[in-house]
Amino acid sequence: MNPVILLCTVGGSHEPILTALRQTTPDFVCFICTDRDPATGRPGSDTQILGKGSCIKARPGDEKPTLSNIPTQAGLRDDQYEVVHVPADDLDEVFRILCAAIQRLSQRFPHGRLLADYTGGTKTMTAGLVSAALESDGVELQLVTGSRADLIKVRSGMEMVTQANVERVRLERAMRPYVQAWRRFAYAEAYQGLAGLARPRDAALAARLALLRDLSRGLDAWDRFDHITALAALEPYRPRIGAEWKGFFMALKWLTGEDETQEPARLLDLWRNAERRAAQGRYDDAVARVYRLLEWSAQWLLRSRCEIDTGNVLPEQVPVGMNLAPNSKGRIQVGLMVAWELLAHYQPDSPAGGFIRAEKNVLLNWLQIRNESILAHGFRSVAENDWRPLAEWVKTRLLPALLQEMAALRIRELPPQLPEWPLGE
């Protein structure tokens, strides 16, 4: 049978401590006490444990102590208990000492059941023990309570040990750093952390953990452009989150569809992804995505508007005066700038055609920044002051033109950015 280890704050009435000892029958007790006050010289609560002879008053109003110390009354041997001294009113120090005590006891009794009873002691001792217990997995919290004659005191003889239900507190505490990872769009980190937490016994708490875990998994897939997996992870929760996440489900519908809206939806999704990389300070990654957005936009527009494939431009599709030679495989393939020039030639009055005529020189400047990036052809990293004007240019020049091109497909605005916090919490 696994040993029972009781940590017990000592201070005030001795009766609740004796009740806890009788009802839990611990194999070892760690009494948490105050020492003699250094300022006043008054004895601390450790006299109830270490005092000799008659050292405890039977009732608070008694003139003299008439009872032996608590270990003697409880029939504890000297090797069945220890005293840990803590300051009366220094919460940080109490927390530090008790965390160390819990760790030491866990190592000494690796298969023990650790109970933390916070009934006695100062308010600071109580707060310190509760905080240390919540910080330590596997420590159960309890207190001695019972029927009350008034709002002040439990009736004598009616005390009983009650387990404190702290599963929700522990779960929320454990989940917090992973849920906060959403603020950095670190959905993979959130999913991995939440998936590693033990399933709560309480059904409602288990459901909450599953919700946050699966939402993190879906958003991680979305952030990796795996939209089908994202939809599969999020869809089961549509009845619960559908109203609040309406924009996300609509975006996923376009992104996973097989009609003509999928490709333009993916272009806009690529821009949102670039924004997330920039929010993480990964500006080279963000610029690489903008480059792909510019290239892909021209490819989509040429294919859908002009039936021109940039990977295999037909000789008759090459405008007069534009020198485009076939490659070693006999194909005419064009890159980003030539693709936009073809678009300007074939669609001069379109929103995209107007964009490239007005912004060609600016685009060339941005391409220079991209080409110097370590993720392209250069050796420098893109700085935030490179990214900010580029992002503003994309939002005020490129995206309006693309949205005008997409209006016929009922796509008139950007999809929402992926959430930084779940369900409006």
> Exposed, middle or buried, 320 (CB in 10 Å: 0-12/13-18/19+)?
exposed
Backbone angles phi and psi of 315, in degrees to 5: -55, -40
* Other Cβ atoms closer than 10 A to 246: 12
pLDDT in tens, 215-263: 999 999 999 999 999 999 999 999 999 999 999 999 999 999 999 999 9
pTM score over 0.75: yes
Q: Percentage of the chain surpassing pLDDT 70?
A: 96
Looking at residue 155, what is its pLDDT? 47
CA separation for the pair 200, 101 (Å, rounded): 26
Which of the four pLDDT bands, split at 50, 70 and 90, describes residue 42? confident
Answer whether residue 416 shows pLDDT above 90. Answer: yes
User: pLDDT tens digits, residue range 148-195?
Assistant: 333 334 444 446 777 777 888 889 889 999 999 999 999 999 999 999
Give the number of other Cβ atoms within 10 Å of residue 150's Cβ.
Answer: 7
Structural domain boundaries in the chain: 4-164, 170-261, 264-409
Give the pLDDT confidence of 3-12 residue by residue, as tens digits: 999 999 999 8
Question: Which H or E element spans position 203?
Answer: helix 203-223
> What is the average pLDDT across 74-78?
95
For 82, the 3-state DSSP assignment is strand
Say if CB 303 and CB 260 are below 8 A apart.
no
Share of the chain above pLDDT 90, in %: 78
The runs of H, that is alpha helices, within 283-350 are 283-301, 336-346
d(CA 335, CA 298): 10
DSSP string, 108-138: HSTT-EEEEE-SSS-HHHHHHHHHHHHHSTT
The answer to whether residue 66 scores a pLDDT higher than 60 is yes
- 3-state class of 225 per DSSP? coil
Strands 160-163, 140-145: parallel, antiparallel or unpaired by DSSP?
antiparallel
pLDDT in tens, 123-150: 999 999 999 999 888 899 998 875 333 3
The third-level CATH classification (topology) of the domain covering 4-164 is Rossmann fold (3.40.50)
Residue 58 confidence (pLDDT) above 50: yes
Amino acid at 202: D
Compute the mean pLDDT over every residue in the chain, rounded to the nearest whole number. 91
As a whole number of angstroms, the distance between CA 46 and CA 233 comes to 56
| Distance of alpha carbon 141 from alpha carbon 13, whole angstroms | 19
Instruction: Please check the confidence at residue 341 and state whether its pLDDT lies above 60.
Output: yes
Q: Residue 282: pLDDT above 70? A: yes
**140 in Cβ contact with 114 (< 8 Å):** yes
- Position 147 scores a pLDDT of 37
For residue 154, the model assigns a pLDDT of 44
Mean pLDDT of 387-397: 97
- Least Cα distance to 162 among 142, 146, 141, 148 occurs for 142
Mean of pLDDT values over 378-382: 89
- Residue 424 has a pLDDT of 55
What is the CB neighbour count within 10 angstroms for residue 245?
20
Q: Is the model's pLDDT at 345 over the cut of 60?
A: yes
